[in-house]
Structure 1
Amino acid sequence: MSNTDLIIEERSRDIGDFLVGRLIPFRKKRMVGPFIFIDHMGPTTIKPGTYLDIDQHPHIGLSTLTYLFEGEVRHQDSIGSDQHIKPGSVNWMTAGKGVVHTERTPTELRHGQQFTMHGYQIWVALPIEKEDMDPEFHHLAATELPTWKEGSANFKLIAGKGFGKESPLPVHSDLFMIEIETEDTFDLHVKGQLSGEIGFCIVEGSINACDQKVEKGNMLVSKTDNECGLQIAAKSRVLLFGGEPFPEERHIFWNFVSSSKEKIEAAKESWRNKSFPQVPNDETYIPLP
């Protein structure tokens, strides 16, 4: 059987039949299901002089999903949300027709403490009929997410549906995001458990797929009906994500995602003119690149 998987690594290179590059979007794999952007944050040491301070910036046409393993972030947005994101919880902001937000190290952690920040910032494109919806914000504590154990692996369903379970996070398309932590070597079977395209983001440890060992820091992209066996090494942490792809192309510029180039141009002009809604009591502004 020919191997049609992609292995995507944070530094690009080619390895024969495998395409290797940065985390999505990548030039030959723009999306995995509705997931259009994944940013690996850290692990990095936060201390005086290096606090996280991301000023006001806009989004359209997507939902942002923030998931932390370590550290803490304060999220504020133009619809009035003010939420501290802690490890294991899920921050889900749907931009729709337009939202503005900031991300900062909380005030109570700015008194000389030193701590580690580690997590993922993920963008999920909206289906075309919801690209202009009103913005929303939802936050789930770690205790609200479905968890279960299979053999030596611990599962947590962060978003969407998978393995016969459903997360309470209110998503807008058919998708899934699952965290798996292994104690010992674990044979993972995804056939019939997940729907659509699937990505395996290796946070710690490694995966053996189709006789290829894929190490920490890489991403393996496949189809859920792939017959290759997947074995997760002991003491590994893996994020599974993906879902049904959209029939239409998505365009991305800066923080804007849309099926329409015209909507992106209009959003650029609105941000230049400072006509987007603003975060209450915040006058910061990141210029359009």
Structure 2
Amino acid sequence: MSFSPCPDPVPGNAESVDAIETLIVPRAVDLGGMEVRRALPSTKRQMVGPFIFFDQMGPAEFLTDQGIDVRPHPHINLATVTYLFDGEIRHRDSLGTDIAIQPGAVNWMMAGRGIVHSERTSEDRRQNGQKLFGIQTWVALPEDAEERDPAFKHHGVSDLPIISDHGVEARLIAGEWMGASSPLQTASETLYADVQLQSGRSAPIDANFEERALYTIGGNIEIAGQSFGPNQLLVLRPGDPITVKATEDARFMLFGGSPMGGPRYIWWNFVSSRAERIAQAKEEWRQGRFTTVPGDEDDFIPLPENSGKPRRATGGVVYP
């Protein structure tokens, strides 16, 4: 699909240009009862560190008997990371995993050579309706990890470290930051944190990671004299530490890490360093050769037809 043009940092503001390498305003798409804002991949940027896909889900409010129903679908050569601010999603996959993810917890699903999963609202949640708000990202895997056996790991809200320091409160999802270390084991150097700042407070973003970005969730932040509101992806210029200041209570996702050794191809739900691997996965899904999801075997998302060849990650993504 195509993406809306993304504005550059403010012309004439040298400090802003020095601090922000790329600014991306995601395009909002209505997926039927829930708005999704897709920040990566973009025409402006392929990846930030290993992050190749970044979706904001909601905020949405479902009435009684409503919810999400993402039918079983496949992934290869990537890891999905689901993180919620509000609501609940029931995850089931072809490994036999059946678990509800709730706010502050994290689901890490490594597709490796191939996995199938579904994401739905549970029957209990449908009875009373619910809100849903969160982030789903895809992380590209190093080439030597792309074809590993699939795996799933859940870390509950109490498993992830909380950083609390002078008006800064952050939950560290992956990697190391401000002296804390997450238990989540990733396939490459990865940083991922949910950061909340009280008005007037600041958080340092050091230069330990080669590629870093912020995605603004709420409130207003200031970097090098430039102000940014919600729903913007700010790719930080590498090499220099920066400071993020909240001009009102604010929340953002901090993410990044080491870049992949080369570009990735992306088509529908498939990511790989090799276009021919995606072609193979397409044929395997078409022929029903992926393993099914226990308890969810009778439903699936068909392979999109006439949606083009795999492209390098510059925006050629098909919504499921």
TM-score by length of 2: 0.83
Which letter does structure 1 place at the counterpart of 2:99? Q
- The answer on whether the counterparts of 1:52 and 1:105 sit within 8 Å (CA) in structure 2 is yes
Tell whether the 8 Å contact from 2:105 to 2:154 is kept in structure 1 after alignment.
yes
Match of 1:31 among 47, 50, 56: 47
From 160, 181, 187, give the equivalent of 1:172.
Answer: 187
Instruction: Measure how far apart 1:184 and its partner are.
Output: 2.5
Deviation by residue 1:235-278 (Cα, 9 ceiling, x = unmatched): 11111000010121111000000000010000000000010111
Q: Match of 1:46?
A: 62
2:130 to 104, 115, 119: 115
Which amino acid letter does the alignment assign opposite residue 293 of structure 2? Answer: V
Equivalence for 1:91: 107
1:240-279 matches, cutoff 5 A: 240-279=254-293
The one-letter code sitting in structure 1 at the alignment partner of 2:227 is K
Following the alignment from structure 2 to structure 1, what is the Cα–Cα distance between the partners of residues 97 and 303?
A: 23
1:64 CA displacement? 0.5
Supply the AA of the counterpart residue of 1:177: Y
List gaps (5 residues or longer) in structure 1: 13-20
Q: Does 1:187 align with 2:206?
A: no
2: CA distance, partners of 1:208 / 1:98: 42
Q: Is the 8 A contact 1:41 1:119 kept in 2?
A: yes
Within 1, Cα distance between the matches of 2:211 and 2:228?
Answer: 18
2:122 aligned to which of 106, 120, 131: 106
2:219 paired with 1:208? no
Deviation per CA, 1:75-114: give whole Å up to 9, x if none: 0000010010011100110000000000000121122x12
User: Runs of 4 or more off by more than 4 Å in structure 1?
Assistant: none
Amino acid at match of 1:265: A
| Alpha-carbon distance in 2 for matches of 1:49, 1:155 | 34
Distance 1:22 1:136, change over 3 A: closer
Distance 1:120 1:22 in 2: 10
Question: Aligned ranges for residues 65-84 of structure 1 at < 5 Å?
Answer: 65-84=81-100
User: Contact 2:67–2:129 (CA<8 Å) still a contact in 1?
Assistant: no
1:182–1:233 contact (8 Å) kept in structure 2: no
Distance 2:289 2:117 in 1: 14
Q: Is the CA contact (8 Å cut-off) linking 1:38 and 1:121 kept in structure 2?
A: yes
Matching residue's letter, 1:226: D
Query: Aligned partners of 1:176, 1:117: CA distance in 2, in Å?
Result: 24
Tell me, in whole angstroms, the C-alpha distance in 2 between the residues paired with 1:5 and 1:228: 12
Tell me by how many angstroms 1:228 deviates. 4.8
Report the alpha carbon displacement of residue 210 of structure 1 after superposing the two structures with TM: 2.5
Give the Å deviation of 1:166: 1.6
Match of 1:7 in 2: 23
2:162 matched residue in structure 1: 147
Q: Give, in whole Å, the separation in 1 of the partners of 2:92 and 2:206.
A: 39
CA distance in 1 between counterparts of 2:168 and 2:49 reads: 25
What is the CA–CA distance in structure 2 between the aligned matches of 1:233 and 1:168, rounded to whole Å?
A: 32
1:48 positional shift: 3.4
Question: Secondary structure of 1:208's partner?
Answer: strand
Aligned residue number for residue 225 of structure 1: 239
Correspondences of 1:273-288 after superposition (within 5 Å): 273-281=287-295, 282-288=297-303
- 1:47-85 deviation line (CA, Å, top 9, x unaligned): 235311111100001110000000001000000100100
Whole-Å separation in 2 of the counterparts to 1:90 and 1:47:
25
Distance 1:54 1:11, change over 3 A: closer
Query: What is the RMSD of the two structures over their aligned residues, measured on CA atoms?
Result: 1.7
Tell me the number of residue pairs that the alignment of Structure 1 and Structure 2 aligns.
279
Letter aligned with residue 247 of structure 2: A
Q: CA deviation at 1:28?
A: 2.1
Cα distance in 2 for residues equivalent to 1:183 and 1:250? 38
- Mark the runs of 5 or more structure 2 residues left unpaired by the alignment: 1-13, 29-36, 305-320
Confirm or deny: 8 A CA contact 1:53 1:105 kept in the other structure: yes
Distance 1:166 1:213 in 2: 30
**Please, what TM-score do these two structures have when normalized by structure 1?**
0.92
Q: SS in structure 1 opposite 2:280?
A: helix
Identical-pair percentage: 39
